[in-house]
Amino acid sequence: MLLLGPSGAGKSTLLSALAGVLGGDDDGEQRGELLVDGRPPAESRGRTGLVLQDPDSQVVLARIGDDVAFGCENLGIPREEIWRRVGAALDAVGLDLPLDHPSSSLSGGQKQRLALAGALAMNPGLLLLDEPTANLDPEGVEEVRNSVARALDDRTTTLVVIEHRVAVWLDLVDRVIVLGAHGGILADGPPDRVLAAAGERLSEAGVWVPGFPPALPRRTPGATRSGGTLLGTTALGIGRGHPRRGHPRRSRRSAPDVDPSTEGIELRVDAGLATAITGVNGAGKSTLALTLAGLLAPASGSVEASELLAAGIGPHPHDWRSRQLLTRIGTVFQNPEHQFLSATVRGELAIGPRALGLGEDEVTARVDRLLGRLRLDALGGANPFTLSGGEKRRLSVATVLASAPRVLVLDEPTFGQDSRTWQELVALLAELLQDGSSVVAVTHDADFVSALADVEVRLAPRLNADSVFRGATAAVLTR
């Protein structure tokens, strides 16, 4: 079954209810009856495998083999059978790494594969997947989809999958259910019948329906819009460091503690232009973005800001203080929850403007404008951690926009978006580009690249003779 609906319709909440993991103070009130194998879901947990929208929340052990084995151990499966299942599950999702590989060093997409492997190893009767391909490269999407198909062929397993993009799962599912934005069911039935009868109506509700693409902003050719270089790199090498802590000059002495994974990157970030960073999972896309944003020190070479961006504070973004970054470079992390600081959505949006010393009238005006533009106005008093995945992503983008930086560095900015919110987010970024800002986006979203990117930085894996990953090479393509 494919579960569809606009962002915030309750899809993830329904999956959590089926898995028997609801019940906290923030989960609201439960009415009616929900049964799995004829019992309340909390009594059937061993029968259910759940892969959450945020893979970080499911990594529990330090080594990937132990992490996949964790669920099986809790089910009391014999040791020999556990390790057979662990190997089969890792093979199924295409995570070709040693069992003792540290889970902390995985990319976001690799963590998604790890979470799916842990669920598959349990041989669940009910497999629940919440946007399992959202942060995967195209090859990874195909591998995960095929591994799920094999799981359905080999076992008596029921699948419920949430995905905004219908095409990935359409030939695998037998049934489509569409939830409404304000409750109830918009459609329920075989995929072909549902999409043929209600495709246009579903598209208007935000569902990604084949044949009903979202409208794209009109943009003039990139070269005619360039307003000068804001950032540039010289023989840049990136490594697997950690974002800086404390005083920037003290932390600069602690360069990444491993060999560079990608070297010799030469690129420019120009005002008015969008740069897409693409490539396979684990190639270093997020690391490159954090280095450009001044949050990681280069492993070699340099990142330098032009005077147009630096405005007298020095050319190296990694040396800038947090307040100096606010109006120059704003960063949206791959995991939205990593940057939430306030107890309310409205308070979250006000943090940046207040740090800039703006008056309360201007703070309120910026907050109200962003709440309305990104369809968050009904959630101003909500706790950011209670939002859906798509809502969290829009909030994380809005918190950066509230400070009006010249350069936006966005890691998977369209993750979890329905077609309407995707369209609005892309249109908003296009307006910022038109006004002379610059966008750098790590993305696997081909539609986003096609709609906005003027330059594509494509990271390709570099392997040694034993096919072991040894970083990536970077190709800079003008679109």
With 60 as the cut, is the pLDDT of residue 244 above it?
no
- Confidence band of 332 (pLDDT split at 50, 70, 90): very high
* Structural domain contains residue 306: yes
Cβ contact 135:108 at 8 Å:
yes
- 275: exposed, middle or buried (Cβ count in 10 Å: 0-12, 13-18, 19+): buried
Distances in Å between the Cα of 101 and the Cα atoms of 61, 64, 96, 110, 186 are: 11, 6, 10, 12, 45
- 129: exposed, middle or buried (Cβ count in 10 Å: 0-12, 13-18, 19+): buried
| One domain for residues 186 and 260 | no
| One domain for residues 172 and 101 | yes
Side chain identity at residue 212, one-letter code:
F
| One domain for residues 72 and 184 | yes
Cβ contact 175:1 at 8 Å:
yes
Q: Give pLDDT, residue 423.
A: 92
- For the four alpha carbons of 89, 92, 94 and 98, in that order, the dihedral sign comes to positive
| One domain for residues 280 and 197 | no
- 117: exposed, middle or buried (Cβ count in 10 Å: 0-12, 13-18, 19+): buried
Q: Within 10 A of 451 (CB to CB), how many other CB atoms are there?
A: 22
* Structural domain contains residue 99: yes
* Structural domain contains residue 355: no
Domain count, the chain: 2
Q: Taking Cα atoms as reference points, which of 290, 295, 223, 294 lies closest to residue 262?
A: 290
* Structural domain contains residue 259: yes
Q: Name the token pair of 180.
A: 């409404």
CA angle 168, 169, 173 (to 5 degrees): 170
Average pLDDT (13-39) is 82
Domain termination residue (choose one: 174, 204, 234):
204
| One domain for residues 186 and 67 | yes
| One domain for residues 6 and 126 | yes
**What is the C-alpha separation between 282 and 65, in angstroms, rounded?**
18
| One domain for residues 84 and 194 | yes
**What is the C-alpha separation between 406 and 331, in angstroms, rounded?**
11
| One domain for residues 200 and 250 | no
* Structural domain contains residue 381: no
**Dihedral-angle region of residue 20 (phi above 0 means left; psi in -120 to 50 means alpha; beta otherwise):** left
Average pLDDT (282-290) is 89
Q: Give pLDDT, residue 105.
A: 85
With 50 as the cut, is the pLDDT of residue 247 above it?
no
Domain termination residue (choose one: 145, 178, 204):
204
Q: Which of 51-65, 247-261, 333-347 has the lowest mean pLDDT?
A: 247-261
Cβ contact 349:330 at 8 Å:
no
* Structural domain contains residue 340: no
Q: Which residues span the domain enclosing 251?
A: 222-328+405-478
pLDDT in tens, 412-444: 999 878 888 899 999 999 999 999 999 999 998
What element of type H or E holds 176? strand 176-179
With 90 as the cut, is the pLDDT of residue 136 above it?
no
Domain termination residue (choose one: 177, 204, 231):
204
Distances in Å between the Cα of 312 and the Cα atoms of 92, 229, 320, 352, 402 are: 53, 16, 11, 21, 23
| One domain for residues 99 and 186 | yes
| One domain for residues 266 and 145 | no
For 194, the 3-state DSSP assignment is helix
Average pLDDT (7-27) is 82
| One domain for residues 443 and 474 | yes
On average, the pLDDT of the chain sits at 86
The CATH number covering residue 37 comes to 3.40.50.300
* Structural domain contains residue 88: yes
| One domain for residues 117 and 178 | yes
pLDDT in tens, 160-187: 999 877 888 988 999 999 988 888 898 8
Q: Name the token pair of 236.
A: 């840049």
* Structural domain contains residue 378: no
Side chain identity at residue 258, one-letter code:
V
